[in-house]
Structure 1
Amino acid sequence: MSQPTFAISVAFHIKTEHVDSFRTRVLQQASESLEKEPGCYQFDVLNDESDASLFALYETYADAAAFADHKQTPHFLDFDATVAPWIESKEVRRLVLLRN
């Protein structure tokens, strides 16, 4: 496998009543992305230690084009539509991996 050149970090604040459902659904999304997308190298799901409604994702991709492809997959489109009403706030950062 080649080295990733592109990463995404996403911070979610989930409405309290949807935290458990979001946790289940985002873990499914991570698994499907890794299994079905050759350009997705890493998809970590993190949960804040002191506030269960705060989640973070860290995803790496072969390149920005692989991430663009990710956003068009059926599993992403389903995830995005399903969780949208559960989200209090969302912040996405597009990142370029630096190497020495």
Structure 2
Amino acid sequence: MLVVHATFPIAAEHHERATELIRELAENSRKEKGIIDYRVATDVDDENLFRFFEQYEDEAAFGAHAESDHFKQFEAELPDLLAGEPEVTRFEVESATAVEL
């Protein structure tokens, strides 16, 4: 499994457009074959910092996502929306288990 965690600091004046794009991206991404989960949340300390949590079955699913029309649209508009540098971390996971609370 491949896990990606990304943060995107969005300029306050572009919050509405970014939210619209991100919502469309997440909804469409969750329909893709090979995506286990694809979630986006705003940071509790900064509503203009969007955190992406993505899980892919494998490298092929991750590559297909990067070539999707909805991702390319997001990628094309993103530079104009940013208030700083995005951070993206990729994890290759051998196994995962649920933690009981």
TM-score range, shorter chain: 0.7 to 0.9
Please provide the CA RMSD for this pair. 1.3
4+ long deviations beyond 3 Å: none
Gaps of 5+ in 1: none
Aligned length: 95
Tell me the percent identity: 28
Letter in 2 for 1:85: D
Gaps of 5+ in 2: 97-101
Query: If the length of structure 1 is used for normalisation, what is the TM-score?
Result: 0.87
Secondary structure, aligned partner of 2:44 = coil
Which of these residues, 65, 69, 80, is aligned with residue 64 of structure 2?
69
- The answer (yes or no) to whether the contact 1:42–1:60 under 8 Å persists in 2 is yes
Query: If the length of structure 2 is used for normalisation, what is the TM-score?
Result: 0.86
1:16-60 per-position Cα deviation (integer Å, ceiling 9, x unaligned): 11112111210110000112x111111111101121111100000
